[in-house]
Amino acid sequence: MRGVTKLTKKSVEFLQSIAVSILAAIFIIVFILETVSVDGKSMLPTFESGDRLIIEKISVRFTKPKVNDIVVFKFPADTREKYIKRVVAVAGDRVKIENNRVFINGIEKEEPYLNEAYINEGFQEAIVPENSIFVLGDNRNYSKDSRAKDVGFVNIKLIVGKALFRVYPIKRIGRIR
């Protein structure tokens, strides 16, 4: 028989290994980890535009986010867009922003990651609804976050994942805290 290529046992095993590796990579990308690129300056100084991050997607399916987690979520007004922000308050918390300071349940929030004073754009005191979070960018003057009507309180079902590790730029590589 001409033109017929015979597969050896080693080539079949090699092809099976490649197929399993591809399936494992797809599983990890779809269900466990994802890379995202920061676009914009709303999270300065924590993240700069162009930073590449690894987010983990599994814990947000089983546990609710905590205050100070940095999460990636689908923009409520257009779920094709993703935003990255810091969780400032969770369900049941009372949020108040006054004189450029954030108060959670009547206690001023310590925010050492902020670089400058910011201008509150008229956010009224509110209680975070069930299954929702209140998020703010670290660069408040340039952040579209829970203070904006088209973002508002973010339903936890819109959370894609939690920022875990910065992989780029190399000089800033490391775990996100």
Query: Could you tell me where the beta strands, DSSP code E, fall in the chain?
Result: 33-37, 52-56, 70-74, 82-90, 94-98, 101-104, 107-108, 126-127, 132-136, 154-155, 159-168, 174-175
In angstroms, the CA 33 to CA 46 distance is 21
SS3 73: strand
Whether residue 169 is preceded by a cis peptide bond, meaning omega within 30 degrees of 0, is yes
Residue 32 identity: I
Q: What are phi and psi of 109, to 5 degrees?
A: -80, 130
Residue 37 among the catalytic residues: no
SS3 161: strand
Alpha carbon 23 to chain centroid distance? 25
Give me the catalytic one of 17, 42, 132, 146. 42
Q: In angstroms, how far apart are the furthest CA atoms of the chain?
A: 85
Catalytic residues: 42
